[in-house]
Structure 1
Amino acid sequence: MRTHILLSATLLTGAMFGSGCVSNKKFGQLQTSYNDLQNANRALDAKYQETQRNLTGATTRVQSLEEQIAAQRTGLASLQAALDKCLNSSSQGNVNISKLVDEINSSNKYIQHLVNTKNKSDSLNMVLTNNLTRSLSREEMRDVDVQVLKGVVYISLSDNMLYKSGSYEISSAAGATLGKIAKIITDYKDYDVLIEGNTDNVPITTTNIRNNWDLSALRASSVVQALQNNYGVDPKRLTAGGRGEYNPIASNADPAGKAKNRRTQIIITPKLDQFMDLIEKAPASDSTSVPAPAATTPQQ
């Protein structure tokens, strides 16, 4: 897709300079198209970088589970070697052999439990993400990022979509999207919801707003009040908080990074028992939860 946009931009530039003299109107149209393609390319590149970061996080989680599985398999090999030694020794009794067999079976079950837990967690996150984004249009998804990490739902909204420029007032264009977000929050009616405002590092100069702490908190409060007053979300579930410029997700050294940092996050957090309910509702598995086997030293 990015290659297509760059090729289109190149062809457009060639058309501008290769066709000789053109009218000012035609040149302006070509210049606007060229700028649009450049902006689209930058947006796609930013999305690509964000996807790479998400992939890195997922890879780290997978690696952690794989290390646990490898450790259990190493323990299983050790137990198997001890069992073989017992079988070859005439002095060993049936009681010790039976105990080792039980430990091997327990280790096998625990390894399977780890594998199934990883698969179930991945499936749960995918199901939740799909459910959360099913009502958002392609245009809305450009300004809304939804992620599910360890059962916690993170909905990130850009300031361009939510607020009037340089203000904490909700724009009229944000109504439809906030309505869909409110539907998500209502669907998860027993969960706590934190609305968190974030800014870039550019000092605010608006009257009656002292700094970015004020701006981020006021923006979060505006979203909370819109969810309560316009969409009927129970205010007892809502918390408004501001983090100012101190929770960046990108560098503030360029406009693209600043735009990412100017965001409002809606964090939907289940309590522990509710998270366990979500686990139970994930795609069915044949595994049975098995506690980790106790560490024992085989008798020789």
Structure 2
Amino acid sequence: MKRIMLLGVCSMVLLASCVSQKKYAELEAKQQETQDLLNTATVKLNSCLADQAAAQARLDGLKEQLADLRKSNDALIKSSQDLTELTSKGASNLEKSLESLQERDLKITRLQDALSRKDSVTLAIVTSLKKEVGINDPDIEINVEKGVVFISIADKLLFQSGSYTVTSRAKEILGKVAKVINSKPNFEAMVEAHTDNVPYNKPPLLDNWDLSVKRATSVVRVLEDLEVNPQQLIAAGRSYHVPLVENDNAANRAKNRRTRIVVLPKIDQFYEMVEQEMKNLSEGN
């Protein structure tokens, strides 16, 4: 009986042991399966995290590009606005420049007209002088240089050699010049005396400067005696410093000994005429 009972207990223990081992194996298999699933999930998770990081990096890059594009767009808009403004200012400045050029051209035209009128008066003086003095006299030259009338009279017609006393023949010639000067009360007449380079020293005169100035004042006094307004007269001596030709022979020295009477408009009156033209221009006349 005891054996039977002991055998039964052992059978029960063995049976329980077999059941537990089977469940353990099943549980162990399930654990391994779960672990495999966990490992696979972990790999997928890591892959997803890597993809997320890459996507985030791309997103951040795209955001930076977007920010740069917005800045570039804003800069282009500003540049376009600045260019539009500059173009507008440039067009305005160009228009002003064209207007300024047109005004300048008009001013130049007005001044040229004024100078032309001055030249017309000058030519009228030349014609009058040639008629009065006689152009065929080789010792008297009448010409125009830069709008100014020059009457050049050879030294031998005005003075004796080394003298500053005017000859009677000179008074006849100067009488004709005086008529022309008197007919132009708004003009000035500068008497300009020149000598050659031969040294001069006859007291009370010291040198060629003294001689040229004295000859100029002698001619001025004759013109004044001929009722030329002294306010129109200017006496100037140039000594030998402005020769026509080289003082290297007697013929050339004779050419350099001369007296020029320069007939010219009074400078202030000429500029008054120019200023009047400018005033007319500014008033749109």
Query: The TM-score by the shorter chain falls in which range?
Result: 0.5 to 0.7
CA, structure 1 residues 98+279, in 2 after alignment: closer, same or farther (shift >3 Å)? closer
- In structure 2, the residue matched to 1:228 is 224
Q: Distance in 2 between matches of 1:103 and 1:272?
A: 32
- In structure 2, the residue matched to 1:144 is 141
* Aligned residue type for 2:185: K
Contact 1:129 1:148 survives alignment (8 Å):
no
Moved more, 160-169 or 263-272: 263-272
Contact 1:194 1:240 survives alignment (8 Å):
yes
- In structure 2, the residue matched to 1:81 is none
- In structure 1, the residue matched to 2:262 is 267
Contact 2:193 2:236 survives alignment (8 Å):
yes
Instruction: Count residues with an aligned counterpart.
Output: 195
Q: Distance in 2 between matches of 1:138 and 1:269?
A: 20
- Structural mapping, 1:191-270, within 5 Å: 191-204=187-200, 209-229=205-225, 231-270=226-265
Secondary structure of the structure 1 residue equivalent to 2:243: coil
Among 151, 156, 165, the residue aligned to 1:155: 151
For residue 223 of structure 1, report the CA deviation from its aligned partner: 0.5
Secondary structure of the structure 2 residue equivalent to 1:197: strand
- In structure 1, the residue matched to 2:175 is 179
Secondary structure of the structure 1 residue equivalent to 2:200: coil
CA, structure 1 residues 122+252, in 2 after alignment: closer, same or farther (shift >3 Å)? farther
Q: Distance in 2 between matches of 1:258 and 1:241?
A: 20
Secondary structure of the structure 1 residue equivalent to 2:136: helix
Q: Distance in 2 between matches of 1:98 and 1:278?
A: 34
Tell which has more relative contact order, 1 or 2 (C-alpha 8 A, sep 6+).
Answer: 1
Q: Distance in 2 between matches of 1:104 and 1:157?
A: 51
Extract unaligned runs of 5+ from structure 1: 1-88, 291-300
Large movers: runs of 4+ above 6 Å: none
Q: Which has the higher helix share?
A: 2
1:101-125 Cα shifts (integer Å, max 9, x gaps): 1321321342354356446535633
CA, structure 1 residues 173+203, in 2 after alignment: closer, same or farther (shift >3 Å)? same
Extract unaligned runs of 5+ from structure 2: 1-82
CA, structure 1 residues 204+198, in 2 after alignment: closer, same or farther (shift >3 Å)? same
Secondary structure of the structure 1 residue equivalent to 2:218: helix
Contact 1:128 1:148 survives alignment (8 Å):
no
- In structure 1, the residue matched to 2:100 is 106
CA, structure 1 residues 207+273, in 2 after alignment: closer, same or farther (shift >3 Å)? closer
Does structure 1 residue 169 correspond to structure 2 residue 165?
yes
CA, structure 1 residues 98+278, in 2 after alignment: closer, same or farther (shift >3 Å)? closer
CA, structure 1 residues 217+173, in 2 after alignment: closer, same or farther (shift >3 Å)? same
CA, structure 1 residues 158+280, in 2 after alignment: closer, same or farther (shift >3 Å)? farther
Q: Distance in 2 between matches of 1:247 and 1:121?
A: 27
CA, structure 1 residues 141+108, in 2 after alignment: closer, same or farther (shift >3 Å)? farther
CA, structure 1 residues 263+181, in 2 after alignment: closer, same or farther (shift >3 Å)? same
Calculate the TM-score normalised by the size of structure 2: 0.55
Larger radius of gyration: 2
